[in-house]
Amino acid sequence: MPINYEQLMALKNLGQKYAYGDREVMLYAYGIGMGADPMDEKELAFVNEAAAEPRPLKVVPTFASVAAWGAGPGEMHLNRVMVVDGERDITFHKPLAPSAHITADSSVLAVYDKGKDKGAVIRHQTVLRDDRGEPIATLVASRFARGDGGFGGPSEGQPEPHAMPNRAPDRSVDITTRPDQALVYRLCGDRNPLHSDPGFAKKAGFPKPILHGMCTYGITCRGVLQTYADYDPSAFRQHAARFSSPVYPGDTVSIEMWKDGNVISFEAKVKARNVTVIKSGRSVLA
């Protein structure tokens, strides 16, 4: 069924109710690879609530991407097999609590027609609010629907990507993913078989299951968190990235970073395969 532009633009879903606890917070941190070293106290603060010395459990800022998993504007009737994440941009209004009851308000921002053989891009927004109605985070997502182009909608007007500095990176960090990492991360909510079933992955055009783009997104947040924020989640004001190529579980992700004032630009590569997996990354810190 071709995209109905007017119907898609009108999609809106307000007051969606969710709750999460420390189990979900720790599972997300473990899902993006934190806690691999059981003696690393800085990372343990995100994956272990049981400490000899009392301390608050920390929440990875990009947990916001799964805190209300499933929230969205409504059914878009896209070809699911051909849909991948395009971009993600989260603005953080306040740090996330280790447990909370929240609401999510979702709407479609824009739909772009790239052409019959090139697909469509759908941008939609979800605002997470606490139990007092105050905003916690605003999530803007971009989906690339590879099989849904050619419906006659607008083709121009997409936001320009963040401009990267024209110099060698100031810092870089290598983060190795585990061969089973997608099987863990999917427990945070995204059960798309593209990330777990070899047959489905081949049907979608991949040689084997790929890591969730949002897991890679979380890994880039982790890179900035440990390099420039001293593991302080409250330092984050924004984290945005554009997905350019998949990561396969077991890959080592190299995150290159540039610091200009409170803005951290970043890109991520898998050097063993000579591919850039994240482009135009931008974190804004306090």
Question: Tell me: the pLDDT tens digits for 5-39?
Answer: 899 999 999 999 999 999 999 999 999 999 999 99
The pTM is what?
0.94
Least confident of 35-39, 220-224, 268-272: 35-39
Residue identified by tokens 């070293």 is 37
CATH 3.10.129.10 fits 5-285, yes or no: yes
pLDDT value at residue 18 = 98
pLDDT band at 267 (very low <50, low <70, confident <90, very high): very high
Mean pLDDT score, 266-281: 98
Token output for 58: 């920390």
Mark whether 131 is an active-site residue: no
Least confident of 163-177, 200-214, 272-286: 200-214
Of 89, 105, 148, 195, the active-site residue reads 195
pLDDT value at residue 1 = 61
Residue identified by tokens 């040689």 is 207
Domain spans of the chain, in order of start = 5-285
Residue 65 phi, psi (nearest 5): -70, -15
pLDDT value at residue 69 = 96
pLDDT value at residue 33 = 97
Question: Tell me: the pLDDT tens digits for 107-146?
Answer: 999 999 988 888 899 999 999 999 999 999 999 999 888 8
Mean pLDDT score, 219-244: 98
pLDDT value at residue 88 = 97
Of 85, 89, 148, 190, the active-site residue reads 190
More confident residue, 268 or 150: 268
Mark whether 195 is an active-site residue: yes
